[in-house]
Amino acid sequence: MDKPLVSVVIPSRNRADMLVRCLEALAQQTYPELEVIVIDDASTDDTPAALARLAERHPRLQLRVLTNTPQRGANPSRNRGIAASRGTLVAFEDDDCIAEPGWIDALVRGFVSERVGAVTGIVEDPEPRNIYDLAFRGTHRVYGDVHATRLIAGNMCVRRELLAGKLDEDRAAVTGDLSVSGRGDEEDLFLKLRADGYEVRVAHEARVLHVHYYTRRSFYRQGFKGGGSAAKVGYKYHLRPRPELLCLAGGYGFAAGSVVNPLCVVPSATCFGLFAGATLVYNEIWRKKKTVWQAVKVAPVMTAYYHVRTAGYLLQYGRLLLGVDQLKRVNLNARRS
């Protein structure tokens, strides 16, 4: 593709300082054909004035600001940005990310053919300040030398024509969770693109720094909400339960059985031990690329995290099965045919 216009869409709420830092980095992009669309999701801080000052300093950004009243949430805000965009390609970034100067250039180079529907990049983490930052480090890692196994909402670029169906707003509507943070907002798009036969590629040179820190409360809240989001994705698209859920469920099943039959105590302990070991090796060392010492250090925190995440998953899935929450189901196989 020869220098198409790229529209960068950024939702934000009450994070003026972070947003300005994000936009200052975009002003240093080496890519020439660029417009930036910020969706101010009903901010009550200094965001409008801060954006006005930045637009005067950096006219090259072609900055446009859309304001939601009332607050609408992350994907509804992104969809509003998509509708207002003029670019052939639409890139997405979060307001707590800082893009390297060649970010857009690297994403655009990933569109090597018409069959490439989206390109995602690398999200790097800052130096951890506490055990929770260290535990979360590497969560947004993308795998594959060429073909990506996922999309990252804070670092991805998609052909605008393929966004006609827009990003999924159903899951936010189910629970009323209007957080601007991720929680799998991009997972449905990845599934749909793959079902429609498009390639999703990874551009290793397209890097952003995700400057986000956690407290104990925000870390476990992320786990609980993330589990609920995973349940909604699984329910909507008829996906199999995640491996850690099955392992935990098996362990608790044996634990319940040990109340009646003491012979179940050993299988229960074994199942939990296998879960902990598999989590340590697979998630922390292989997926997140932590050192063995880092993985051991965060093991207690991550074990608790996956229990909280599983609780969120089971609660939300149960609500969907019982009809407490309504979510229309989608057959991806029908899209493939």
Same domain, 184 and 240: no
**Dist. CA 244–CA 298, nearest whole Å:** 17
> At residue 285, does pLDDT exceed 80?
yes
- The whole-number pLDDT of residue 144 equals 80
> How many structural domains comprise the chain?
2
* Residue 140 forms part of a structural domain: yes
Same domain, 139 and 253: no
> At residue 152, does pLDDT exceed 60?
yes
Same domain, 203 and 271: no
In single-letter form, the type of residue at position 210 comes to H
Same domain, 136 and 168: yes
The single-letter DSSP state of residue 126 is P
* Residue 327 forms part of a structural domain: yes
- Mark which of 214, 247, 281 sits at the end of a domain: 214
Same domain, 103 and 186: yes
Same domain, 208 and 300: no
Same domain, 36 and 67: yes
* Residue 224 forms part of a structural domain: no
pLDDT digits (tens, 9 = 90+) for 233-278: 889 998 887 766 666 666 666 666 666 766 666 666 676 677 667 7
What's the whole-number mean pLDDT along residues 207-216?
96
Mean pLDDT of the residues in the chain = 87
> Is residue 12 a contact partner of residue 19, using CB atoms and an 8 Å limit?
yes
* Residue 176 forms part of a structural domain: yes
Domain range enclosing 130: 6-214
**Dist. CA 56–CA 60, nearest whole Å:** 10
Same domain, 204 and 245: no
Identify the CATH number of the domain in which residue 89 sits.
3.90.550.10
- Mark which of 179, 214, 249 sits at the end of a domain: 214
**Dist. CA 303–CA 289, nearest whole Å:** 17
Tell me the pairing of strands 63-67 and 97-99: unpaired
pLDDT interval class at 178 (50, 70, 90): low
- Mark which of 214, 245, 277 sits at the end of a domain: 214
* Residue 222 forms part of a structural domain: no
* Coil, helix or strand at residue 228: helix
Angle at 24 between CA 18 and CA 29, to 5 degrees: 130
> At residue 279, does pLDDT exceed 60?
yes
Same domain, 206 and 62: yes
What's the whole-number mean pLDDT along residues 124-153?
92
Q: Is the pTM of this model over 0.75?
A: yes
**Dist. CA 164–CA 43, nearest whole Å:** 27
> At residue 214, does pLDDT exceed 60?
yes
